[in-house]
Every structure is written in structure tokens, then in C-alpha cells.
Amino acid sequence: MADANANERNSIFAEEAFVVEVQSLLHEIMEEKGISRADLARSMNVSRARITQLFSDECTNFTVRLLARAMYALEETPTLARISHSAEQLTDLEQSSVNSATKVEHVLPLWAETELIDMTDPSCPANDNIFAGLAHIRQPRASFRIAA
């Protein structure tokens, strides 16, 4: 029972971590490009309320399709990556982030794989939080455009 609770709690922590990463990434791109939420709604052909919902705490109905549409509207191509994590790393997600306070140099994000990936390789996205890495690996779609 305790394991089930811990697993549920960790799942919620993983969910929220990903949601705030995505919201922050979209916000960052919009600021970079000077795009307002109203502009984004128009480009995505959705209502302004839908955009508000997308950035809300609840973040309900934020589908992969909507994310793809948002990235397209922002002239970006999202790139997905995955990094496996071990069961030990998942033991207590909440506690691990707290532990980082005392040994931050040695603690990796829970979704980072420490054994299989060469952490010294600078091109490896696992050198930091995978989601934080999204900001650097996203590719401007504009470069693939064919001139009219």
C-alpha cells in the first residue's frame, strides 16, 4: 500500500514537472519572438480561452496534438528524447529533489539514466534535465522552408 502511494505521488511529481517544463518552454519561445497569447490563439486557430487553459495550473485538455499545433504556430519543431531511469531513482521523487539541497552536485533528475549514458559527453541531453534540454534541441522550422 505504501509503495502504491509512493508510486502515485511520484507519478504526480513527474506529471507536474513535465507540465511546467512545457509551459515554460512555450512561454520562453513566445517571449523570444514577441508573440502574445492572442497571437498564438489566432495562429493555432483556437480560442483565447484554450490558450489560457494551456498555461493554467490545471492544464486540462493539453493534448500532444495541441502541443504540436502550438509549436507549429511558433515556427518550431519539437524534438522528443527519452532517458530511462532506474527503480532506485524512482524510490521517492519528492524526497530526491529535497536531497539535492545537500548533495546537489551528485543528484541527477529522476528521469536521468546514470549507468547507460556517458554523462561526460557534452552532446548528451542527460547532462541536465531532459526537459530543460528541450529548449536547446528544438529546431526552428523556418530553416526548412522553401522560398516562394
CB 68 within 8 A of CB 78: yes
22 or 73: whose CB is closer to other proteins? 22
Return the CA Rg of the chain. 18
Question: Is residue 137 a contact point for other proteins (CB under 8 A)?
Answer: no
Per-residue binding string, other proteins, 88-127, x by CB under 8 A, is: ------x--xxxxxx-x-----------------------
- One-letter amino acid for residue 14 of the chain: A
> CB neighbours of 26 closer than 8 A, spacing ≥ 6?
54, 55, 70, 71, 74
Binding region for other proteins (CB under 8 A) out of 50-58, 72-80, 82-90, 113-121: 50-58
Report residue 3 as a C-alpha cell. 509503495
Residues of the shown chain interacting with other proteins in the complex, contacts defined by CB under 8 A:
8-9, 12-13, 15-17, 19-21, 23-24, 27-28, 31, 55-58, 94, 97-102, 104, 129, 132, 135
